[in-house]
Each structure stands twice: as structure tokens, then as C-alpha cells.
């Protein structure tokens, strides 16, 4: 009898553990393949002397629109429940249909075929999320670790941006493994930049960390794209565009 009870407990634990899969602070995938986000939301503190981040006011309530990112534009809209509720990001994004994915991994990420271990033709896409606030410019929602808020120069109005390690969510129909460095050159100057890849996507939802580092002495920029679980101190930010 004890053995039967033990087997039932193990089976119950296995089913419970299979319901969600962590993909960062407050982010998981449920048993239906939907992406769930439930986390505090931060906004930019527009302090000109020392800009930073602060928690969104509890009066902030709005729907969130989720699209696939397509080049410099946004593509198919995904079904979403929830939104920004009392200054907190609390949404469930429905698992996409197969026909909503547009680009091969090689084209979408601009990666040379020889860096692929597998999946160069896999259909992938990236999520783009923004709050539906009437009368305001489109702002995006991003997950960022080690964030630094900067005031950018602008002739017409002040623009604050967030730098740091940004974590982007992708959906893939197949496994994708990319490893190595892609070197790029400018046709018009001696400027050189590199893309370092260490990506291992599985079928379904994935998260990729992206960071950009500029080396002034060598006049080159290095962009790293790495598959890694975001740290526990990463925060969701309402980013100005």
C-alpha cells in the first residue's frame, strides 16, 4: 500500500512540475504552451541630473498588444489576456499558430550558414509588446538586467533610453543551435562590427540575451546573443521609443 501511495505521489509531482517552465523572473510556459508573465513593472524616472527607474504607479491600468516582430515593423497580432493591472505586468500570451512564423533563423538573425549546427531553415520570430495608451507614442515592454537609463540628445524633445542586458523572447518551430562569430564590414568606412552567437533554441518559447559593446580603441562594436535564463534581478521596463 505504501508503495502504491509513493508511486502516486511521484506521478502527481511529475505532472505538477510539467505545468510550467521558467523563462525568467515572473515568466513561464504553461502546459498548453502559452507564455505567462506576472511581474512588477518599472518606468523611467525622468530625473535630468540622475535618471533611473521606479516602479510603475498603481494607477497604471491598460491593455497590452503583442505582435511578432518583423524587420522594422510589427506583424501578426497574438491573442492576449490580462495586461498592465495596478502597475503590474500580468498577461498570458497564447501559443502562436505555425503559419504565423515568417522567417528562417538564418535570415531573421542575419547569421552565416556556417555558424549553424542545426536549424538554419527553422521558422522563428521575436515578440514585440507594447501598452495600448491612446494618444501616446508606441512604447515597448522589455526585460532588462543591469539597466542603465540614459538621456539622449534630441532637437525636438528629450528622449530617455535604457541600456543593459536585454532579454528577448522568441518562438521557434524547430531546434536551433548557433555558435561562433560573424564579422561585418562597412562599405563606407573602416568601421567593423562583430556578432557573437551562443544560441540554443528548442521548439517553442525561448529567451535570448543581447548586449552591445563598443570598443573605441579598435573602432569596433560587438553584439552578443546568448541563450541564457535571465537573472532574478532582471526587471520589466516600459521603454520609450
User: Residue 95 is placed in which grid cell?
Assistant: 501559443
pTM metric for this prediction: 0.83
Are the CB atoms for 211 and 176 separated by under 8 Å? no
Query: Residue 151, Cα to own-chain centre: how many angstroms?
Result: 23
- 15 belongs to a structural domain: no
User: CB under 8 Å to 84, separation ≥6 — which residues?
Assistant: 41, 56, 60, 61, 62, 63, 64, 90, 131
| pLDDT for residue 67 | 86
The C-alpha angle with vertex 152 and arms to 146 and 156, in degrees rounded to 5, equals: 150
Cα(99)–Cα(97) distance, rounded to whole angstroms?
6
- 10 belongs to a structural domain: no
- 77 belongs to a structural domain: yes
| pLDDT for residue 46 | 86
User: Residue 33 is placed in which grid cell?
Assistant: 504552451
Percent of the chain with pLDDT over 90: 50
**For the segment 85-123, what is each residue's pLDDT rounded down to a tens digit?**
999 999 999 998 887 777 899 998 888 889 999 999 999
| pLDDT for residue 13 | 38
- 184 belongs to a structural domain: yes
- 5 belongs to a structural domain: no
pLDDT at 141 over 90: yes
The dihedral over CA atoms of 209, 109, 212, 144, expressed in degrees to the nearest 10, equals -30
- 16 belongs to a structural domain: no
- 25 belongs to a structural domain: yes
Name the pairing type of β-strands 88-93 and 35-45. antiparallel
| pLDDT for residue 90 | 97
When divided into structural domains, the chain yields a total of: 1
Under the banding of pLDDT at 50, 70 and 90, the label for residue 134 is low
Average per-residue pLDDT in the chain? 82
Domain limits at 166? 21-239
**For the segment 188-215, what is each residue's pLDDT rounded down to a tens digit?**
666 677 889 999 999 999 999 999 877 6
- 12 belongs to a structural domain: no
| pLDDT for residue 12 | 35
Cα(131)–Cα(201) distance, rounded to whole angstroms?
27
Amino acid at each position: 500500500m505504501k508503495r502504491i501511495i509513493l508511486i502516486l505521489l511521484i506521478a502527481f509531482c511529475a505532472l505538477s512540475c510539467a505545468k510550467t517552465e521558467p523563462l525568467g523572473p515572473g515568466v513561464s510556459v504553461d502546459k498548453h504552451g502559452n507564455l505567462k508573465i506576472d511581474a512588477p513593472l518599472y518606468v523611467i524616472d525622468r530625473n535630468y541630473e540622475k535618471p533611473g527607474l521606479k516602479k510603475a504607479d498603481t494607477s497604471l491600468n491598460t491593455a497590452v498588444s503583442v505582435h511578432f516582430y518583423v524587420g522594422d515593423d510589427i506583424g501578426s497580432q497574438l491573442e492576449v489576456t490580462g495586461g498592465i493591472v495596478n502597475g503590474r505586468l500580468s498577461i498570458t500570451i497564447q501559443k502562436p499558430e505555425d503559419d504565423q512564423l515568417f522567417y528562417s533563423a538564418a535570415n531573421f538573425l542575419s547569421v552565416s550558414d556556417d555558424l549553424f549546427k542545426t536549424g538554419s531553415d527553422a521558422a522563428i520570430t521575436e515578440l514585440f509588446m507594447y501598452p495600448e495608451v491612446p494618444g501616446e507614442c508606441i512604447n515597448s515592454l522589455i526585460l532588462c538586467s543591469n539597466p542603465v537609463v540614459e538621456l539622449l540628445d534630441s532637437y525636438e524633445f528629450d528622449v530617455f533610453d535604457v541600456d543593459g542586458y536585454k532579454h528577448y523572447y522568441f518562438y521557434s518551430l524547430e531546434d536551433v543551435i548557433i555558435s561562433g562569430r560573424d564579422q561585418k564590414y562597412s562599405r563606407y568606412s573602416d568601421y567593423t562590427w562583430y556578432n557573437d552567437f551562443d544560441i540554443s533554441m528548442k521548439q517553442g518559447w525561448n529567451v535570448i540575451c543581447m548586449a552591445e559593446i563598443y570598443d573605441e580603441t579598435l573602432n569596433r562594436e560587438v553584439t552578443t546573443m546568448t541563450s541564457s535564463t535571465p537573472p532574478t534581478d532582471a526587471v520589466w521596463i516600459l521603454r520609450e521609443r
